Amino acid sequence: MTRETLLNIVLFAILPTTALVAFALDEPFIITLATKAAILALAGVGLNIALGLGGLVSFGHAAFFGLGGYAMGILASHAQSYTPLMETPFLIEGTKSMLVIWGVAIVASALAALAIGALSLRTTGVYFIMITLAFGQMLYYFAISWPAYGGEDGLSIYVRNDFPGLNTLDPIQFFAIAFGILAIVLFGAGRLAKARFGLALSAARQNAERVETVGLTPFRLRLVAFVISGAVTGLAGALFADLNRFVSPTMFSWHTSGEIMVFVILGGVGRLFGPVAGAALYILLEHTLGGLSEFWHVYLGLLLLLVVLFARGGLIGTIAGREVAHD
Amino acid sequence: MTDPLLKLSHLNKSFGALKATDDVSLTLVRGEIHALIGPNGAGKSTLIKQIAGGLRSDSGTVEFAGRDVTHLGTVPRARAGLGRTFQISSLAMEYTVLQNTVLGALGHDGGVMRFFRPVMKDRALVDRGMAALERVGLADQAAKRTADLSHGQRRLLEVAVALTLEPKVFLMDEPMAGLGASGSKRLTGFLDALRAQAPILLVEHDMDAVFALADRISVLVYGQVIATGTADEIKRDPTVREAYLGAEDAV
Ligand SMILES: Nc1ncnc2c1ncn2[C@@H]1O[C@H](COP(=O)(O)OP(=O)(O)O)[C@@H](O)[C@H]1O
Ligand SMILES: [Mg+2]
């Protein structure tokens, strides 16, 4: 077993262990923090497919996170007010079913990623960063100025949505849902990275000319990666909204894009469990440093600077060393 | 003689005022090695790029396997069967040596939108990647990171990746560079046999290799083909001696 595998097992165990200990000690707030970490990690796992594997520095992943959030908010708010979303040409009603909401969140963010990717992937480098940022901000301002769904104030959902057989309002049960999804997506993302697609995508990041010379189109690989990436982050957005029972335009803001990127960088760009490490560390810092000082973001900034300057592989790279490419 | 597999007609390419390719016409027929020689900066690499699709020609046509590919990009030309190696190695440096040839095999196979089965456990692809490494003598380096290879080994890996593509034509830009005497000799023997699989347009500075291998040689100077002929014809050609070989002797 490599050092990274061992570290991954530890990282995988941290969140459920924390949640279970908190459950035993009757500390629901800690369970909620672990749930938040799992959901933010999921958003990071999504970004990491584009950023880590594909080398696509998207500064607009808040777009997908927000779309997932609003998919939940819109569907659930219609369900709680018993008003259909639309009646003509056909009837669409709201829903409180998490499974349906996740499906809508995934499809909506995948479609958005397809459109945004098709346009922005024609550029590279700093232009790509700026264009993805611009798309994210467009959705942000759109959400602010759309009064039907709360505008600037956002939308509150009074009761968490339903999942068959579980009481989603019970913190430990909702944690189980969020962590279960994270586990499934981690498994899938790990397989993807080692599959044919992952080999070609990661090669396109290292050397696009090489990939073209063997007859593969980098643009297609990147677009598909961007769509998968956006869909995963969108699913995380739907869960995040359900965790808070609240959505607001903040989910679309560039701060959110930046935070998701921070999870990935802190944990280790391109490392499967990087976002898990990054999100857990972020939540930990937020609630330790955040309690000590209002300016905890300054310390976070310093930490980030140190990681970027001295530990390019992030937390995982520092502990486990360089990635083993071949197995 | 059969129809040429590759036919360049009146190709031109300028970089600003510099004419890098000046009305170049040449052919490559089945079973031959056609060497392209000329001093540094003559436009050999530029011409290879124009053939492979990385660089658009200002005018002229590239016909490949009876088809006009002048307006196609690199990817469709590669898929049509143009296998190129680079003068400056262009590989996935973070990958192992084997992963680079498996990437080539994957490119040739084409089924890239598969997301679940580990590619390095895909017997068909890995066997093809290994076979290519064995042919160029890199099999013992398969698990090494490409970035850790020597310059000469990277050149060989370039050739191995091209092999996995099973191309109809090889375009090789100075594959011997950095190989050393014994390495050059070995690769010379290999290319000699390879021409039966697919013809090779070979850019090379190693004159021993060129004279040993080439069925035909074209001499490029300032973007122009100043002579085409057999090794003996080229050795005797006075303009070539003056423009190129003579200068080489003087060094
Ligand atoms: N992208 C480019 N932009 C401008 N000039 C170039 C470019 N590529 C090549 N050249 C110039 O074209 C000439 C031919 O270059 P090249 O094809 O690399 O020569 P060779 O491979 O024969 O040594 C050189 O003078 C080189 O400086
Ligand atoms: Mg050259």
pLDDT tens figures, B113-166 = 999 999 999 999 999 999 999 999 999 999 999 999 999 999 999 999 999 999
Q: Facing residues of B145 across strands?
A: B96
Domain of residue B135: give its range.
Answer: 91-151
Q: How far apart are CA A273 and CA A324, in angstroms?
A: 14
Q: What is the pLDDT of residue A282?
A: 94
Q: What is the pLDDT of residue A325?
A: 53
Q: How far apart are CA A195 and CA A193, in angstroms?
A: 6
Query: What count of other Cβ atoms lies within 10 Å of the Cβ of residue A81?
Result: 9
Q: What are A79's two structure tokens?
A: 């369900």
Amino acid at A238: A
Q: How far apart are CA A64 and CA B4, in angstroms?
A: 53
Split at pLDDT 50, 70, 90, the class of A324 is low
Out of A191, A199, A210, the one facing B91 most closely (by C-beta) is: A210
Residue B205 belongs to a domain: yes
Decide: A12 and A45 in contact? Cβ < 8 Å: no
Q: Are residues B173 and B147 in the same domain?
A: no
ipTM above 0.95, yes or no: no
Please say if the pLDDT value at position A180 is more than 70.
yes
Q: Facing residues of B14 across strands?
A: B19
Q: What is the pLDDT of residue B250?
A: 41
Q: How far apart are CA A44 and CA A254, in angstroms?
A: 15
Out of A195, A211, A212, the one facing B119 most closely (by C-beta) is: A195
Residue B23's SS3 state is strand
CATH number at residue B58: 3.40.50.300
Residue B250 belongs to a domain: no
**Which positions ≥6 away from B189 have C-beta within 8 Å?**
none
| Helical segments of A160-267, H only | 171-194, 196-206, 208-213, 218-244, 254-267
Q: Do B114 and A197 touch (CB under 8 A)?
A: yes
Regarding beta strands A155-156 and A246-247, do their DSSP bridges make them parallel or antiparallel, or are they unpaired? antiparallel
Split at pLDDT 50, 70, 90, the class of A292 is confident
Q: What is the pLDDT of residue B2?
A: 65
Percent of chain A with pLDDT over 70: 98
Domain count, chain B: 2
* Class of residue A230 by CB neighbours under 10 A (exposed 0-12, middle 13-18, buried 19+): buried
Cβ contacts below 8 Å, chain A against chain B, sum to 116
Domains of chain A with CATH codes: 3-320 (1.10.3470)
pTM summary value: 0.95
- Closest by Cα among A217, A239, A276 to A48: A276
The answer to whether A221 faces chain B, any CB pair under 8 Å, is yes
Average pLDDT value over all residues in chain A: 94
pLDDT tens figures, B1-14 = 568 999 999 999 99
Q: Are residues B99 and B66 in the same domain?
A: no
Amino acid at A49: I
Range from A173-182, A233-242, A295-304, B182-191 carrying the lowest mean pLDDT? A295-304
Query: What count of other Cβ atoms lies within 10 Å of the Cβ of residue A76?
Result: 29
* Class of residue B118 by CB neighbours under 10 A (exposed 0-12, middle 13-18, buried 19+): middle
pLDDT tens figures, A156-179 = 999 999 999 999 999 999 999 999
Please say if the pLDDT value at position B249 is more than 80.
no
Q: Are residues B182 and B217 in the same domain?
A: yes
Residue B30 belongs to a domain: yes
Please say if the pLDDT value at position B244 is more than 80.
no
Q: Using DSSP, how many helices (H) and how many strands (E) does chain A show?
A: 13, 2
Q: Are residues B240 and B171 in the same domain?
A: yes
Query: Length of chain A, please?
Result: 327
Q: Do A200 and B103 touch (CB under 8 A)?
A: yes
Residue B52 belongs to a domain: yes
- Closest by Cα among B47, B75, B46 to B62: B47
Positive or negative: CA dihedral A42, A48, A54, A58: positive
Q: Are residues B73 and B177 in the same domain?
A: yes
Please say if the pLDDT value at position A186 is more than 70.
yes
The answer to whether A81 faces chain B, any CB pair under 8 Å, is no
Percent of chain A with pLDDT over 90: 80
